[in-house]
Structure 1
Amino acid sequence: MFKLYLDPGHGGSDTGATGNGMQEKNLTLDISLRIRDILENEYENVQVRMSRTTDTTRSLNERTDDANNWGADYFLSIHVNGFDGTAQGYEDYIHSSLSDTSQTARYRDIMHEEITRVNDLVNRGKKKANFHVLRETRMSALLTENGFIDHPEDAEKLRDPNWRQTVAQGHVNGLARAFNLQRKDPIYRVIVDGTQEGAYREQQNILNAVQRNLGSASRIVVEKV
């Protein structure tokens, strides 16, 4: 079982960065919830625990203590950047004490490659810092900065829910590759004359449902969920 501790940055009284009518805390929560949903819906043997699932205030100590006490395998903190309106792009961080050959750095390399493959942002590189959530976690940890909220081009992307879904998928792609996560078999709905007859994972069950209705139905649709 892979245990991911997912940390949407900021929240509650802490808005994080602001710009272009948006607040970082809302964007980080939205992207994090999307990451959680993809993992839980599409992958086997994954547990996701989040530092927050609503707009609540959580201290840095509460976040890292919770992850450590839960025994997470990986800590992933989602953030959005802000500066002076001129900087733009994506960057990520591991703790400054770690070497580039450490296990955490190897995970980071995979995550960085998968996220930048899809996010359509300027690549600002792989970085290190002494952030609390990277320093005080007992497991490997990564903090991602997904665009600059105060840059007009990045803000346009951040405002788009389809882009946020793509970014979430990029994070999931990295996690799946880094930790060898296995996909669930897809679910198929069998719809007979406009009414769902059932939903199945196994091919034989799908075929059986079609066969049961073949003689009486005017229209049978098999639809991947």
Structure 2
Amino acid sequence: MVKIALDAGHGGTDSGAVGNGLQEKNLTLNIVKKIGGLLAEYEGVSIIYTRTDDRFVELSERAAIANRADADFFLSVHINAGSGTGFESYVYNGNVSPSTIAYQNTIHSEIMKAIAGVQDRGKKRANYAVLRETKMPALLTENLFIDNANDAAKLKSEQFLLQVAHGHVEGIAKAFGLKRKATQQKQEEPKMPAPEKTAYDKAVDAAFEFLKQHGVVTQDRREEPVTRAQVFLMLHRLAQNMLQK
């Protein structure tokens, strides 16, 4: 039996970060409940929550809950603030076990796969109480910035929050070698919904269609690097089209 302690950051009188009509405490609880629901589809998993509703829990008590349960892994979910953008994860900046680093590497990687297109701010270390006081490998994730308008737009989407939860669960399952329950294995593997397109992505789509219609480009290779020679050719084609009109 693998015991996973799930910690929804903040709660009650502690709202955590706020911005764009959102409160961190509500988002973290939403994500953690989704993680717990998805983990329940795996064999041999016991889930411990530090909170399941909107209540305040001291940092030391969060760690104590996991320690008393003799959990195998502690996961604390947070939303960032500070006008940045993207995702980052943390482990304790003191002495940690090799398994802690391995779990961070695996889970961080799976989350980034699930939220493709979001900036990867990296795997970091910090002296956070829930990482310092837990006796088992522990990870804290910061899932986008609540005070960034583009990040907040994603955080307002239940579909995106499910993708965040899915990434966490895929990482945990991979790190601990979890297997889906028999009834789950017989069903078709759930398909992750495609990430919602941002205003920037939609603008790029429109630009591509315009250039394609005017014979400037033929293939959508927006993620590939471009040389100056290619830029010259595209500008030349566009100029020719304009001069012909």
Answer with 1 or 2: which has the greater Rg: 2
> Could you tell me which residue of structure 2 aligns to residue 68 of structure 1?
67
2:183 pairs with one of 183, 186, 208:
186
Structure 1: where are the runs of 5+ without partners?
188-200, 204-223
Q: Please provide the CA RMSD for this pair.
A: 1.7
**Equivalent pairs, count:** 187
Select the structure that is richer in strand. 1
**Once the 2 structures are TM-superposed, how far is the Cα of residue 98 of structure 1 from its aligned partner?**
3.7
Does residue 156 (structure 1) correspond to residue 153 (structure 2)? The answer is yes
CA contact under 8 A between 1:98 and 1:105: conserved in structure 2?
A: no
> Could you tell me which residue of structure 2 aligns to residue 127 of structure 1?
124
> Could you tell me which residue of structure 2 aligns to residue 143 of structure 1?
140
TM-score, structure 2 length as denominator? 0.74
- Equivalences for residues 1-225 of structure 1 within 5 A: 1-40=1-40, 42-83=41-82, 85=83, 87-98=84-95, 102-120=98-116, 121-186=118-183
Identity %: 48
Distance 1:27 1:68 in 2: 25
TM-score, structure 1 length as denominator? 0.80
Per-residue CA distance 1:175-196 (angstroms, 9 max, x = gap): 0000000101236xxxxxxxxx
Structure 2: where are the runs of 5+ without partners?
191-245
- For residue 133 of structure 1, give the secondary structure of its aligned residue in structure 2: helix
**Once the 2 structures are TM-superposed, how far is the Cα of residue 202 of structure 1 from its aligned partner?**
7.9
Distance 1:176 1:59 in 2: 28
**1:145 maps to amino acid:** E
Write out the 4+ residue segments of structure 1 that deviate beyond 6 Å after TM superposition. Answer: none
